[in-house]
Amino acid sequence: MQVYRFREKRSGDRPCVVTIGNFDGMHLGHQALTGAVVNEAKDRDLSSALVTFHPHPQEILHPRRPVQRICTPQLQNRLFEDSGIDEVHVIPFTPELAELDADTFASRYLLQRFKLEKLIIGYDFRFGKNRTGDFILLERLGQENGFSLEEIAPFRIKSQIVSSTLIRELIREMRFSEVEEYLGRPYSLLGTVQKGEQRGRILGFPTANLIPEIQLPLPAGVYVTKVKTKNETFFGVTNIGTRPTFGEDEFRAETWIMDFEGELYGETIEIWPLKSLRAEKKFSGMEELKKQIEIDVNQARHFIQEITVGLKEGNPC
């Protein structure tokens, strides 16, 4: 998969099947859309391309209402690659771009950039100033510029339309089994381990720290987690939040990994929340925090023992 920023030129002039959207979560609806693009491109010996935006358009249109993202940037890129898409084109979304009328937007970001054979869009895709660009406008542009157009119907599970908005709400409510149903995979965080202040070592619980770089719908708190390193999978206890005990405000995920020894700095790890243990809180100092961590770890071990027994007995978890 080749990733392009908008100002970079494509590596060739091969005709394309293209889709466009935000794709936060790469849920089952997104997978149906990208799957249609990849299959159409393969059937016609064309390139498949996905156009998306950074930052999320709503963060520019409504800056006081930051968007909580389902996927970390690294996870979204991996999911794009897993989809089989040949090219990902990232458009920097700016206030100036938000003011473009629909025809200018389509000309600049689709017609001038691609040798467009077919455009496949989701049922709810709108573009241009005041979201005036729609299927009818694209159909006209297709007739004028020689590309075909297809709109993918909403993906439903039990009559419920799968959407990023729905999934964010389920994550906020920590309904992880339902999130998995709509994502088509368990909800997770993926990122590179950063070096922290080493407080975990002092407390006797060294942590692997991820800085998501986005706002998450996952509530701040402590979770039992499953953790995958490069070579192995472990259980862990993860604190999601800003560490109010130490007066800090950088949002991060700090994971103590059970039965693990070694260094993970610079490595990519993936974390799956399994169960909420408690909300994040401010402690009086290191000693009180250490006592609470010990309680958290004991509760986590008890939960893990329960699900391990359940798996051995063939019960769903």
Q: Which CATH superfamily is domain 189-312 in?
A: Riboflavin kinase-like (2.40.30.30)
For the cut 80, the answer to whether the pLDDT of residue 217 exceeds it is yes
pLDDT in tens, 48-99: 999 999 988 888 888 888 889 999 999 999 999 999 999 999 999 999 999 9
Distances (CA, A) of 152 to 29, 131, 156: 9, 19, 12
How high is the pLDDT of residue 41?
98
What are the sequence ranges of the domains in the chain? Answer: 2-161, 189-312
Calculated CA dihedral for residues 305, 311, 313, 317, nearest 10 degrees = 90
How high is the pLDDT of residue 195?
83
Tally the C-alpha atoms within 13 A of residue 195's C-alpha that lie toward its C-beta. 3
Give the rounded percent of residues in the chain with a pLDDT score beyond 70. Answer: 90
For the cut 70, the answer to whether the pLDDT of residue 12 exceeds it is no
In this prediction, residues 168-189 reach a mean pLDDT of 97
Q: What order do you get walking across the sheet with 189-192 strand by strand?
A: 189-192, 268-279, 221-228, 233-241, 252-257, 208-210
Domains 2-161 and 189-312 share a fold: no
pLDDT category at 125 given cuts 50, 70, 90 is very high
Q: Which residue has the tokens 């898409």?
A: 85
Options 3.90.226.30, 3.10.20.600, 3.40.50.620, 3.40.50.2300; which CATH number does 2-161 get? 3.40.50.620
In this prediction, residues 104-127 reach a mean pLDDT of 95
Angstrom distance (rounded) from CA 206 to CA 297 = 13
pTM of the model as a whole: 0.89
> What is the residue type of 253?
A
pLDDT in tens, 148-168: 999 999 999 999 999 999 999
